[in-house]
Structure 1
Amino acid sequence: MKTEQWNSKIIIVEQFESNNQLLSDDSMGIYFHLADNNQMIIHFKPLNEVFKQEVFTTSEGLLINFERDLIDEDDIEYALDVMSLFNKYPKFILNKLLEIKQVQSIIGLLKTEYNNKEASYIMFKTVLKVLILHLIRYQNNQFLDQDLNQKRVFQFLELMETEFLNQTKTLFYANKMGISTKRLNQILKEKLNLTAKQIIQQRQVTEAKRRLVKSEITTKELAFLLDFDSVSSFSRFFKKNIGVSPTIFKTDYKKNIP
């Protein structure tokens, strides 16, 4: 796959200035900025979200933005770890010089491959995975020192990622975690500014879009897969979140395929 064909899947942007530079809603973003105090500040953009405004106080950093496809091609455990990485903390700080140098080194390899006229998609994807695995390791090391509520957020996100196709009720997750639905929503609102239902619905939207463009699934089959009572209720839900019906969304996507 040629570098010029990557723009639909991967972009690297230096002097990142606004969310308008991002790929689709179904993309994930990592913004790296080296602060004056020799800290590396890393911001994560999960699926269906944008970067917080504080990211744009400086344009001296670097953005790596990629479509979800790049992690879906790998095993489920890796994909789950990536989802957790992007949802634990919107902002993550590296303080250790060795870790910062390791991240900078990997980013250098990514930039070199990205700008190479004979670039290899597999090589780029592999180096990106190495970068993400390093960030997962660093984040998990710091995660051990975080408060109980932050750990509950991680527990919910991990559980939701594996169960959302069959379980869409907040009560199920609260029972699994041994807390009340009210307490679960309080924790999620405090840490992510979203309720459990809103997070589950975001995940349903992402999965619906992915299935519509990656398979020949029908709207009826998709409604059943995502645990909706009827096709009409799923269609209303999809249109409310995306702005068009599932059928139109799929048709428009196919029209735009080169």
Structure 2
Amino acid sequence: MSVVNRRNKIQIVREFKSNESLLSGNSMGIYFDFIDKHKIIIHFKPLNEVFSKEVFISKSGLLVNFERDLIDEDDIEYALDVMSLFNKYPQFVLTHRDEVVKVQQVIHLLKAEFYNDEASYIMLKTLLKVLLLHLIRYQNNNFLKQDLHQKRVFKFLELMETHFLNETNAEFYANTIGISVKRLNQILKEKLNLTAKQIINQRQITEAKRVLIKSNISTKELAFKLGFDSVSSFSRFFK
């Protein structure tokens, strides 16, 4: 992958001053605020969101921002773990010495590869995956029990990742979780500022873009793959 294309997929920003420098709404961001050698505050930007203003107070941090399809190219379990990492809490703090050192080491390798004129896309993707897997492990080790609403958000996201090609109505997800559609939408609006249908639609759009880029599938085949009954209805939706 060329340098230009590579940097459309992943970026590292040392002086992160505003949300305007993010790749896109479909990107996921992690801001590492290095307080001292024993403490890192880690802020997460899930899909379709922006960082809170408190992130820009720090002058010593580093942004790692990447497009969603970098995780979609791997297995579904990994993608779900990453989605959970970004949606659990907006931030968490690392203070355990070994965890801080390990994260710093991986970030150092990722930065070195990113700024290398002959950087490898595969190497960048692999180092990013190593970093995310470490964060998933540390977050699971450090966080308290999630509240009930947050658990329902995770359950919806897990179900949606597995079933969005065949189940596009909120009723399926609400019934599976065991709550009403109205209550599901209230919880999702509170936690993610989107309704179930909006989240499903965004996931379909992401998948459509990924498939169009990665394969020679026709528009008609893609429309039916995503559950549309006609090309015209898919075209109206995509526009």
TM range (shorter): 0.7 to 0.9
Q: Once the two structures are superposed, what CA deviation does each residue of 1:217-255 show, in whole Å capped at 9, x if it has no partner?
A: 22222222222233222222211xxxxxxxxxxxxxxxx
Aligned CA distance change for structure 1 residues 169 and 59 (closer, same or farther; 3 Å): farther
TM-score, normalised to structure 1, is: 0.81
Q: Letter of the 1:181 partner, please give it.
A: V
Structure 1 segment 1-258 matched on structure 2, within 5 A = 6-35=6-35, 39-239=39-239
Q: Once the two structures are superposed, what CA deviation does each residue of 1:114-158 show, in whole Å capped at 9, x if it has no partner?
A: 223443333332221111001111222345522121111111111
SS state at 1:31 partner = strand
SS state at 1:216 partner = coil
Give yes or no for contact 1:2–1:118 (8 Å, CA) kept in 2: no
Give yes or no for contact 1:3–1:116 (8 Å, CA) kept in 2: no
Deviation at 1:5? Answer: 5.8
For 2:198 and 2:142, the matched residues in 1 are separated by: 27
Give yes or no for contact 1:82–1:132 (8 Å, CA) kept in 2: yes
Structure 1: gaps spanning 5 or more residues: 240-258
Q: Letter of the 2:13 partner, please give it.
A: V
Aligned CA distance change for structure 1 residues 228 and 5 (closer, same or farther; 3 Å): closer
Q: Letter of the 2:78 partner, please give it.
A: Y
Q: Once the two structures are superposed, what CA deviation does each residue of 1:13-71 show, in whole Å capped at 9, x if it has no partner?
A: 101112332224443222111347x6523222333444344433334311112233432
Give yes or no for contact 1:2–1:117 (8 Å, CA) kept in 2: no
Aligned CA distance change for structure 1 residues 131 and 223 (closer, same or farther; 3 Å): same
Give yes or no for contact 1:16–1:60 (8 Å, CA) kept in 2: no
Q: Letter of the 1:63 partner, please give it.
A: L
Q: Letter of the 2:82 partner, please give it.
A: V
Instruction: Report the RMSD for the aligned CA atoms in angstroms.
Output: 2.5
Give yes or no for contact 1:48–1:202 (8 Å, CA) kept in 2: no
For 2:71 and 2:219, the matched residues in 1 are separated by: 25
Give the fraction of aligned pairs with identical amino acids, expressed as a percent: 72
TM-score, normalised to structure 2, is: 0.86
Q: Out of 47-56 and 206-215, give the one that drifted further.
A: 47-56
Deviation at 1:168? Answer: 0.9
Q: Out of 16-25 and 160-169, give the one that drifted further.
A: 16-25
For 2:211 and 2:112, the matched residues in 1 are separated by: 33
For 1:129 and 1:191, the matched residues in 2 are separated by: 26
The size of the alignment, in residue pairs, is 239
Q: Once the two structures are superposed, what CA deviation does each residue of 1:79-133 show, in whole Å capped at 9, x if it has no partner?
A: 2222222233333333434322321221112112222344333333222111100
For 2:208 and 2:228, the matched residues in 1 are separated by: 12
Structure 2: gaps spanning 5 or more residues: none
For 1:5 and 1:164, the matched residues in 2 are separated by: 28
Structure 1 stretches of 4+ with a deviation exceeding 6 A read none
Q: Letter of the 1:169 partner, please give it.
A: N
Deviation at 1:2? Answer: 6.5
For 2:90 and 2:230, the matched residues in 1 are separated by: 35
For 2:221 and 2:51, the matched residues in 1 are separated by: 33
SS state at 1:104 partner = helix
For 2:230 and 2:60, the matched residues in 1 are separated by: 49
Q: Letter of the 1:88 partner, please give it.
A: K
